[in-house]
Amino acid sequence: MKGCKYGTHRVLEPRGALPQAAWRIDNTMDLYDNEILVDVDTLNIDAASFTQIKKQANGDNEEIARIMKDIVGSRGKHHNPVTGSGGMFIGTVKAIGPDISDISIKPGDRIASLVSLTLTPLVIQEILEIRQDQDQVRIKGQAILFESGIYAKLPSDMPPALALAVLDVAGAPAQTARLVKPGDTVLIIGAGGKSGLLCLYEAKKRAGVTGKVLGMGHSQVSHDRIVQSGLADNAFSLDATKPLEVYDKVSQLTSGRLADVTINCVNIPGTEMASIMATRDGGTVYFFSMATSFTSCALGAEGIGKDVNMIIGNGYTKGHAEIALSVLRESPVLMKMFLERWAVS
């Protein structure tokens, strides 16, 4: 039996919705003719979602596991009802429906999903390990990819956990590469995290010697990573929920001109106005963070009379997987940092 290429045949509530917008989807692992069945071994939970879950669980692994199982049990997918975000998985292809036209994969191939867990039918049979520092959870489970779903074969030149960490945020450096032009002043907020470091690299590469890259972190650890990367012309620590402090600092560093492009990679809410205020009129703000309130963005910009272009952080950009992985291949410093921080086995 063939289902809808976009997965609407799996939607249980409300009928007629797409799987991502649906409250509940069918996560039975009976394969339709145009679906792919994957044995899942690792989930990479979206940073905003995992931060919220850890806070709700007070950092207790057993409680984290219970919350995750409850989400999947009630919704058929890992779609955090608080943050609205999910993550992605890696696993081994178990079966391919006869109507799948992609002949580049076969059962036994190792792949990473490049679509969100918020639309992916998922079953968690057992949670084996929770890696709080990596936002990764090892499980025994299964998932379904729809005909329209995108994925990538895991590269052979890096550990699976590393590839998963990078591919989870692949949209951010790819969008940065698209947005930044030679000579731009670029502000990366949350520059010490996974997406932030990759964006730093692309910003430095695209802005060139005539541009300027500002890397902002929150904690001392994050600040140290920015400095260690060697990719920021100026690295500083501030609370992104305090917009006037951020505005004053960026204004000081740019002689009042502010940033041409601001990339927001933080994993907490309330940072919209810092991003908007730090950007010049006519500039661009890219909100990659899934903790962003787009109502706050629109009304906040209006409220201070700020004319900036605001871009939603689409996790998909053409060629994004290749761009993100190539960053680590091109940068030995980032490769070392990612291996030490996000690929601990």
In a domain, 166, yes or no: no
Pair (82, 150) in one structural domain = yes
Within-domain flag for 163: no
Domain final residue, candidates 123, 154, 185: 154
Residue 238 lies in a domain: yes
Which parts of the chain fold into alpha helices (H)? 47-56, 61-75, 160-167, 171-179, 194-207, 220-229, 243-253, 272-277, 294-303, 320-330, 332-342
Query: Based on the domain organization, do 17 and 111 belong to the same domain?
Result: yes
Mean pLDDT of all residues in 238-242:
96
Please tell me whether residues 323 and 211 are part of one structural domain: yes
pLDDT of residue 206: 97
Q: How far apart are CA 278 and CA 242, in angstroms?
A: 11
Question: Using an 8 Å Cβ cutoff, are 200 and 229 in contact?
Answer: yes
Asked whether residue 259 carries a pLDDT value surpassing 80, the answer given is yes
Peptide bond into 14 cis (omega under 30): yes
Same domain, 227 and 297: yes
The fraction of the chain above a pLDDT of 90, given in percent, is 79
Is the domain of 189 the same as that of 311?
yes
Q: Say whether both 138 and 191 belong to one domain.
A: no
The tally of domains found in the chain comes to: 2
Residue 160 has a pLDDT of 87
Q: Phi and psi of 208, rounded to 5°? A: 70, -170
What percent of the chain shows pLDDT beyond 70? 99
Q: Is the pLDDT of residue 69 over 80?
A: yes
Closest-CA residue to 116 (of 343, 323, 316): 316
The predicted structure's pLDDT at residue 345:
54
Measured CA to CA, the distance from residue 219 to residue 247 in angstroms comes to 18
Residue 74 forms part of a structural domain: yes
Give 141-161 pLDDT, tens digit per residue: 999 999 999 898 998 888 888
Same domain, 131 and 190: no
For range 127-132, the mean pLDDT: 95
Same domain for 338 and 198: yes
Q: Bigger pLDDT: 116 or 342?
A: 116
Domain contains 87: yes
Categorize the per-residue pLDDT at 164 as very low, low, confident or very high, splitting at 50, 70 and 90: confident
Query: Do 74 and 218 lie in a common domain?
Result: no
113, 167 contact by CB (below 8 A): no
Residues 177 and 310 in one domain: yes
pLDDT at position 102 over 90: no
pLDDT of amino acid 291: 78
Asked which of 154, 182, 203 is the last residue of a domain, the reply is 154
Residues 279 and 333 occupy one common structural domain: yes
Query: Which CATH number belongs to the domain containing residue 189 in this structure?
Result: 3.40.50.720
pLDDT at position 13, please?
96
Instruction: With respect to residue 249, please indicate whether it lies within any of the assigned structural domains.
Output: yes
Domain that holds residue 36: 8-154
In a domain, 1, yes or no: no
What pLDDT band is residue 178 in, cutting at 50, 70 and 90? Answer: very high
Distance separating alpha carbons of residues 225 and 248, to the nearest angstrom: 23
Q: Does residue 37 form part of some domain?
A: yes
238 by Cβ neighbours in 10 Å (0-12 / 13-18 / 19+) ranks as middle
The last residue of a domain, from among 154, 185, 209: 154
| pLDDT 10s digits, 1-23 | 899 999 999 999 999 999 999 99
| Confidence band of 101 (pLDDT split at 50, 70, 90) | confident
Burial class from Cβ neighbours inside 10 Å (0-12, 13-18, 19+) for residue 125 reads exposed
Does residue 188 sit in the same domain as residue 336? yes
CB 277 within 8 A of CB 306: yes
- pTM higher than 0.75: yes
Q: Determine the pLDDT at residue 56.
A: 96
